[in-house]
A and B are shown apart, each in its own frame.
Chain A
Amino acid sequence: MKSIAVIDYGMGNLHSVAKALEHVCPDTRVYVTNDAAKIEASDRVLLPGVGAIRDCMAEIKRLGVDQIVADQMGKKPMLGICVGMQALMQHSSENGGVECLGQLPGEVAFFGDQPTVKAAHLKVPHMGWNQVKQQPHSLWNGIEDNSRFYFVHSYYVRTNQRDLVAATCNYGLDFDVALARENLFAVQFHPEKSHSAGLQLLQNFLQWDGS
């Protein structure tokens, strides 16, 4: 039986993502765990996350999840979601500045500081269903370009390495909502809360061989 490890570092609601994975692939075993051996033995890894980055990074380090992520990187398909994506970047400006895992080049910035966001009086957090402009990648199979996904975040990712960008979105400014490198895929939105488009993406991930 195929298996996926949802890394549990004590932050947020892992029930939603586990239920969504079970729903799209009843024949995949879903482990919600921070046990290194179990994660090592799984076919795929999912790094979720909600909440504030400082607390997330503190728990990631306390539980040794930083080492686990580094060990699994490149070995098997990995999906980062929301703060899980942000944690993979180099640095976040949240909570007065936090060093992140540095697995992906780029930083995490605050919407509320951006002049175009302020000028348009846009609400922060960016909350709700927004359109996602895809770049070619097999995780978008069966999902129409510009489909809407559910977002809830006040900080966003930006990278200068444009060849890593797998999707963008606009909210006062264009920003990066999916990054892909080899067998790593990371998204800012919540596929587990994005109805059919989100469930399709999770199913694609569970079938993805990482290339």
Chain B
Amino acid sequence: MGLAKRIIPCLDVNNGRVVKGVQFVDIRDAGDPVEVAKRYNEQGADEITFLDIGATHENRDTMVHTVEKMASEVFIPLTVGGGIRTCEDIRRMLNAGADKVGINSAAVFNPDFVQQAAGRFGAQCIVVAIDAKQVSSPGETPRWEIFTHGGRKPTGIDAVEWAIKMVDYGAGEILLTSMDQDGVKNGYDLGVTRTISDAVSVPVIASGGVGNLDHLVDGVTKGKADAVLAASIFHFNEYSIPEAKQYMASKGIEMRL
């Protein structure tokens, strides 16, 4: 009896539609974001993460409107990420009804922004999103670096050191996406998930690569993640949230059923 591990369906949103691609290309349509979020809310999702993958101003206004609509109908925590660069962006999303914001590239370009944001809005609403890719060769000590721009641009920054620094700067949670695994359905990168989860004091959300329910279980048991995020297995009805929760509970993981 105690704190449950969380299942977080992730909605990648572009031009007001939920989309899902493989390694950030080959995009498929998965529906209206408010309808999708409502379905997950009814199914017992523990939180919802909402990522704006478009970068235009029009898209941003659509996002704010969608978050507002969602917040009137969905009463579980809502994280909004993608293109959050200033305290004004954060204020706007929180006012629209988001509970947390995900900061990714902006943290890399200006780490002080995380400190500023956590100071102003509280660490509890600052999620630092890290896109990590393994850079060591097989046989070497594993090493991961962070990438920006949807996994296209290397930064030379060590992912584990970066996670520790971001927590020092006030991140209340780490959303860790493996760029090698994203969309390919072979399971999370358990090595980087476990290494970062052991290295930081705050909760870590595993992301990128879920293809079946054992991957969710492994994310918690082997990757030591506090929450598991997935998109396509839920969007395209391969598995339902209750099914995933029952399965994880049957493997001895504490869940909210």
Interface residues of A (CB under 8 A from B): 12-13, 15-16, 19-20, 22-23, 50-52, 112, 123-131, 146, 148, 150, 152-154, 170-171, 190, 192-195, 198-199
Contact = CB atoms under 8 A, between A and B. Distances in A.
Interface in B59-82: 71-73, 75-77
Given A12-B122, A194-B75, A128 B202 contact: no
Nearest to B45: A195
Contacts of A146: 1
Interface string B1-26: 11111100000000000000000000
B1 A127 contact: no
A130 B4 CA distance: 6
A interface majority secondary structure? mixed
A129 B77 CA distance: 11
A129 B125 CA distance: 16
18 contacts: A13-B95, A15-B71, A15-B96, A15-B97, A16-B75, A16-B97, A19-B71, A19-B72, A51-B124, A127-B172, A127-B202, A128-B5, A128-B46, A128-B203, A148-B256, A152-B172, A154-B123, A193-B75
A185 B3 CA distance: 23
A170 B121 CA distance: 27
Contact of B3 (A51, A126, A192): A126
Given A13-B99, A193-B75, A193-B76, A125 B203 contact: yes
Contact of A52 (B1, B72, B122): B122
Given A148-B256, A171-B3, A193-B99, A127 B76 contact: no
Contacts of B5: 128
Given A127-B202, A195-B76, 14 more contacts: A12-B121, A20-B75, A22-B72, A50-B122, A123-B203, A124-B202, A128-B3, A128-B226, A129-B6, A130-B4, A152-B77, A152-B172, A193-B76, A195-B41
A12 B94 contact: yes
Given A12-B122, A13-B94, A125-B124, A23 B75 contact: yes
Given A128-B203, A129-B46, A170-B2, A123 B71 contact: no
B97 A19 contact: yes
A144 to B, nearest CB: 12
B13 to A, nearest CB: 19
B97 A51 contact: no
Interface of B: 1-6, 41, 44, 46, 71-73, 75-77, 94-99, 119, 121-125, 172-173, 201-203, 226-227, 256
A131 B124 contact: no
A131 B2 contact: yes
A16 B122 CA distance: 16
A94 to B, nearest CB: 11
Contacts of A16: 71, 75, 97, 99
Given A123-B202, A193-B76, A128 B71 contact: no
Contact of B202 (A15, A125, A195): A125
Contact of A130 (B3, B96, B173): B3
Contacts of A153: 124
A46 B44 CA distance: 27
